[in-house]
Structure 1
């Protein structure tokens, strides 16, 4: 339930740092209220969950993630920051038995694109929402609209990716087409489905070395590099370094990105 980046965690770059420009928009669109009970799907190290808990100060926030390491870190951070109205569980939102009709809103920051059976998964999440409960999730728009994906694939392949298929495996862009996403959510029991364009940069680190270290941890990147012989791998890394140098400014290494906020209500 995660995009192609490595696990959340501390270090020169992490997932929360990469997406810092997106968080303000997710918080605004989620519009969590003081008494709300919030479900955070694919919560990672819990930043978005803790943010929701602070807003829902007379409610609660509950984060789930398939990474046990991320959940352990989320609990540590909540304790260190003194956020008491929050809980985390190592669980898969596709099949986890949520308390029925418990939550007012389910949120997700790029945590819903990798469901094996998305209709069943969203129906399962819907059962945890109260009638007319809201789903507010951020997902990537199609790959060709995301400069970070185009640039990284181009550097790794050594050629323009026009017409090239995306790497096999989990698809970070599976909900990028509004028609597809709308059909999935409608079949899962949601209505009032709306799309808000999000045009914010992703941040890959303060310098080229940090960006290279971060992006080498992407599943898609590591899989490509593992298939190359040592010399070809070094050439690909050299092209990545050149690409990151071209995207370095006073705010670090940044790439353009496009996402959707998809909002819907449970029937």
Structure 2
């Protein structure tokens, strides 16, 4: 594996955060899988696909099927890549490879891919311009980039649910770590500046939405959300009684989203597309 410069994220994704995502592979796929189709639309027959921040590898495997060609998933997380490799083997996909690497500095073969995709995997770069420039070098001239990133929690159902925690937990971003935030690319102007500086052209940001299933009922979804890394971290910063009140508020907020098929929340994101100039 190449040198890791994003050490904060590497520690998180090889610690509790990565284990939680690996242990709840099906649940996270049910939450985020609705955004896969808008990304797969960028894949053409025979494309060589790079999936950046592939996690448990669902999008990588779908892209390999969609293009009928070679697909590589790259991620920092050892636990998640183990699940990704296991799933690819179970599904009989020999032309899928998973590599543990920091996409910001990994020495990808120049021009080796036709398209680079990412489903919520590009918001945490230590240096986003350097990272996207490195991904761009991995694309052939005329190659394509397509990813989804969070826009703002205010625009979807999750924002209202998380708002129920506001009176119980410290505000996000008050821990002093300086780590990249999930909303680092929520502003399209920031996205355009970053990708242009990284050498991409034709940058477009389109709002998209999808419904995700978070649990069987409010109690089940509440337990899952309380174990999700960002919320668990905040719960650990308060006393046990306050944390319990926060969990109860979370479950109450989820009740209005209960359906016969489970707790369903509408999520919103930006679909970002760009090209490597020919």
Q: What TM-score, normalized by structure 1, do the two folds share?
A: 0.90
**What is the match of residue 247 of structure 1?**
257
Mapping 1:107-122, distance limit 5 Å: 107-122=117-132
**What is the match of residue 165 of structure 2?**
156
Find the residue that maps to 2:273 and give its secondary structure. strand
Work out which of the residue numbers 16, 21, 29 in structure 1 matches 2:34. Answer: 21
Mapping 1:184-195, distance limit 5 Å: 184-195=194-205
Whether the 8 Å contact between 1:133 and 1:266 is mirrored in structure 2 is yes
Q: Which string of whole-angstrom CA distances, capped at 9 and with x for unpartnered residues, describes residues 197-237 of structure 1? A: 11222321122232122211222211211111111111111
Shift of 1:13: 5.4
1:48 aligns with 2:65: no
Mapping 1:210-229, distance limit 5 Å: 210-229=220-239
Q: Distance in 2 between matches of 1:230 and 1:196?
A: 42
Shift of 1:91: 1.0
Shift of 1:10: 5.1
Q: Distance in 2 between matches of 1:80 and 1:266?
A: 34
Find the residue that maps to 1:182 and give its secondary structure. helix
RMSD over aligned CA atoms reads 2.2
Whether the 8 Å contact between 1:13 and 1:211 is mirrored in structure 2 is no
Find the residue that maps to 1:157 and give its secondary structure. coil
Work out which of the residue numbers 139, 152, 175 in structure 1 matches 2:185. Answer: 175
Count of aligned positions: 259
Mapping 1:1-267, distance limit 5 Å: 7-9=20-22, 11=24, 14-28=27-41, 30=42, 32-57=43-68, 59-152=69-162, 154-158=163-167, 166-168=172-174, 169-267=179-277
Shift of 1:62: 0.3
Q: Which runs of 5+ in 2 are unaligned?
A: 1-8
Q: Which string of whole-angstrom CA distances, capped at 9 and with x for unpartnered residues, describes residues 24-54 of structure 1? A: 22222x2x12211000001111111111111
Cα distance change on mapping 1:116 and 1:257 into 2, 3 Å: same
Q: Which runs of 5+ in 1 are unaligned?
A: none
Q: Distance in 2 between matches of 1:259 and 1:149?
A: 12
